[in-house]
A and B are shown apart, each in its own frame.
Chain A
Amino acid sequence: MTDLAWLTVAEAAELLRGRKLSPVEYAKALIARVERHDGKLNAFLRFTPDLALEDARRAEAEIARGAWRGPLHGVPYGLKDIVDYAGLPTTAHSKILKDNVAKADACVAQKLKAAGGVFMGKLSTHEFATGGPSFDLPWPPARNPWNRDHFCGGSSSGAGAATAAGFVPMAIGTDTGGSVRNPASMCGIAGMKATYGLVSRRGVLPLAYSLDHVGPLTRAVRDNALLLDLIAGHDPLDPGSVAHAAGGYSAQLDRGVKGLRIGVIRHFYTRDMKADPEVAAGIEAAVAKLAELGAEVREIQTAPLGEYNACNRTILTSEAFALHEKWLRERPQDYGALARERIMAGAFVRAADYINATRLRRKMADAFHALFSGIDVAVTASSMDPPCRIDDPKAIEHTYGRQARAAFNITGGPALSVPVGFNKAGLPLGMQIVGKPYGEAMVYRVAHAYEQATDWVKRHPPLA
Chain B
Amino acid sequence: MSDDNLSLDDIRKMAAETGLTRLTEPHLQELLRATRTARARRAALPIGSLTPADEPAHVFRLEAGK
Contact = CB atoms under 8 A, between A and B. Distances in A.
Contact of A356 (B30, B44, B47): B47
User: What is the interface residue range for chain B against chain A?
Assistant: 20 to 34
A171 B32 CA distance: 37
Contacts of B21: 329
A304 to B, nearest CB: 9
B35 A361 contact: no
Contacts of A356: 45, 47, 50
Most buried by A among B15, B35, B38, B45: B38
Nearest to B63: A243
B31 A347 contact: yes
Contacts of A353: 42, 45
A333 B22 contact: yes
Contacts of A317: 38
Interface string A166-195: 000000000000000000000000000000
Interface of A: 210, 303, 306-307, 309-311, 313-314, 317, 325, 328-333, 337, 340-342, 344-350, 353, 355-363, 365
Contacts, number: 102
B65 interface: no
B56 A330 contact: no
A345 B42 CA distance: 11
A352 to B, nearest CB: 9
**Chain A interface main SS type:** helix
B46 A341 contact: no
B42 A314 contact: yes
Contacts of B50: 356, 359-360, 363
Given A358-B58, A359-B56, A344 B30 contact: yes
B42 to A, nearest CB: 5
Contacts of B58: 210, 358
Given A333-B24, A340-B30, A358-B57, A348 B46 contact: no
B38 A360 contact: no
B55 A340 contact: no
B38 A314 contact: yes
Given A310-B41, A329-B19, A358 B56 contact: yes
30 contacts: A210-B57, A306-B44, A309-B44, A310-B41, A310-B45, A313-B41, A329-B19, A330-B22, A333-B24, A337-B26, A340-B30, A341-B31, A344-B20, A345-B38, A346-B38, A347-B15, A347-B18, A347-B20, A347-B31, A347-B35, A348-B35, A349-B42, A353-B42, A357-B45, A358-B57, A359-B50, A359-B54, A360-B45, A360-B50, A363-B49
